[in-house]
């Protein structure tokens, strides 16, 4: 009954450090997404993937990289952390990519860059 699992839940990074936010889903969903949620803002799409080996940019991709080597996993990489990347990050998945399909969300990763 795991659904979408994100690790870590919290992280503090120093400027210039790098890290990978992990996301895994056990629902065999083809589509996976990374969003960021800033205070007082809606979720913004960073990257998405339509299946293993295929990724594409969303609305705010700068400063991030992703990979999708398996159906289950969709890690998000921050290479040179900046204060502007302080945010809450949500991973999501959906069975298909149509906008008439429900997305399932992880619990989020709260990242602070200092």
Residues that bind another protein (CB under 8 A): 4, 35, 40-45, 56, 58-59, 90, 92, 97-100, 102-103, 105-108
Residue with tokens 């993937």: 49
Minimum CB separation of residue 16 from another protein in Å reads 29
- Of the candidates 11, 57, 14, the residue with the CA atom closest to the CA atom of residue 34: 57
Q: Reduce the DSSP state of residue 84 to 3 states and report it.
A: helix
Minimum CB separation of residue 4 from another protein in Å reads 7
Query: What's the order of all strands across the beta sheet hosting 64-66?
Result: 4-7, 19-25, 76-78, 64-66
- Of the candidates 25, 27, 80, 36, the residue with the CA atom closest to the CA atom of residue 58: 36
């Amino acid at each position: 009954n795991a659904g979408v699992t994100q690790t870590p839940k919290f992280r503090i990074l120093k400027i210039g450090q790098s890290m990978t936010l992990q996301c895994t889903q056990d629902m065999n969903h083809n589509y996976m997404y990374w969003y960021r949620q800033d205070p007082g803002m809606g979720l913004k799409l960073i990257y998405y993937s339509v299946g293993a080996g295929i990724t594409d940019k969303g609305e705010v991709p700068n400063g991030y990289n992703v990979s999708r080597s398996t159906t289950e996993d969709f890690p998000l990489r921050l290479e040179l952390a900046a204060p502007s990347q302080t945010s809450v990050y949500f991973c999501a998945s959906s069975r298909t990519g149509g906008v008439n399909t429900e997305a399932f969300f992880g619990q989020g990763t709260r990242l602070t860059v200092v």
